[in-house]
Amino acid sequence: MFNLKALIEAHMDELAAIISREHGKVLADSRGDIQRGLDVVEFACGAPHLLKGEYTDGAGPGIDVYSMRQPLGIAAGITPFNFPAMIPLWMAAPAIVCGNAFILKPSERAPSLALRLAELAREAGLPDGILAVLQGDRTLVEALVDHPAIKAVSFVGSSDVAQAVYARGCAAGKRVQAMGGAKNHGIVLPDADLDRAVSDIMGAAYGSAGERCMALPVVVPVGEATAEALRTKLVAAIASLRVGVSTDPDADYGPVITAAHKARVEGYIDLGEQEGAEVVVDGRGFSLQGHEAGFFVGPTLFDHVRPEMRTYQEEIFGPVLQIVRADTLQEAIGLASRHQYGNGVALFTRDGAAARAYAAEVEVGMVGINVPIPVPVSYHSFGGWKRSAFGDHNQYGLDAFRFFTRVKTVTQRWPEPDAAPSARSAYVMPVME
């Protein structure tokens, strides 16, 4: 695993180019994709400590109890197109250091990076058969979930598919963690540093063309004065955004993944307009000179979005930011807490008491305080609530070692060699006396 980390670092530019060429995200974003995966590889190098069990000396007369973590056998990972390096490494590194063989099924929309990672893993010394990459679509996903030799399935994708994979896998007696979609909210209080908040919101809303489950597609200003000031600053910031090809060093984001996805995102913009939201900045029909056939969507901003609108309730997964106005902090907490998704949320404020209350009360799995994309560091764990995650274990961190192992507990007694055996058999439940 140390060798793999070193090889990925040495091949960083090559790997980033593969991602950008196939996915379309800008090179700097591709490097970030790889680096966040590398963080988990580095964490997995601590496996000797993380796999330690527990030991109790003298739990009873001459009796000791200890536990050990053992691998499940074969695990499978089904990963999405938007992070071709990060999420496969989130899954594969912990699974393998726990002693499992791992089958990786990358998205058919961005399949190449997984193959290159497998080549580097072999070069790092991983034995043949421990990491396999299988390419395919829904048919392969169902085959992996159904196969009796596969004991655990880790999935990241849309919520509907995540729920189906979770149900199917559990019905087959497997351990399943299935991460779904999101509709993350960024709440802006009147005391927030607006310039900093706008800078953070812009990157979180439009980075990677909004194709992130931890993107920030909804901003909730508290109070009309905050809303008007925020809107003015967002419009000015959007005017300076640069949409371009992945190799353009000055581009802020690139195209979306497919022509079908471009049509889907623009369809949601049409729907928002029909629902009565105000289209402040319209990204439909965006064309990049020299790349007129590219799958580009311009930055879009809606205002006066209402909670009953479909465009608010559903995940758009594109460069579309919606403003939903609230009168109070409690109203803003309610918006995020009642939403069907519960992946991440961010609060922008200078008020420590408000931030503490918000973090405690909001019904969302990951919270950022003046942090727009609160993806935890590798030694914590990643996971949402409600329809953003199905299963009892989060990604990476200690939860990964719990997910990819099972606990065996041993109770042992070593009688003295000359000790007399018990006079009679015991037929009652044994107790430690």
Q: What is the DSSP string of 80-149?
A: -SS-TTHHHHHHHHHHHHTT-EEEEE--TTS-HHHHHHHHHHHHTTPPTTSEEE----HHHHHHHHH-TT
Joined tokens for residue 255? 């195209």
- Whether the CB-CB separation of 278 and 304 falls below 8 Å is answered with yes
Q: Coil, strand, or helix at residue 353?
A: helix
- Whether the CB-CB separation of 209 and 297 falls below 8 Å is answered with yes
- Whether the CB-CB separation of 313 and 275 falls below 8 Å is answered with no
> What single letter denotes the amino acid at residue 242?
R
Calpha distance 242→239 (Å, rounded) = 8
Q: What is the DSSP string of 33-76?
A: HHHHHHHHHHHHTTHHHHT---EEEEEETTEEEEEEEEE-SEEE
Name, in order, each residue with C-beta under 8 angstroms of 424's C-beta and a sequence gap of 6 or more. none
Candidate list 45, 98, 170, 213, residue with the active-site label: 213
Residue 98 annotated among the catalytic residues of the structure: no
Write the Ramachandran bin of 326: left for phi over 0, alpha for psi from -120 to 50, otherwise beta.
Answer: beta
Strand order across the 366-369 sheet: 278-281, 300-303, 320-323, 218-221, 185-188, 344-348, 366-369
Residues labelled catalytic: 213
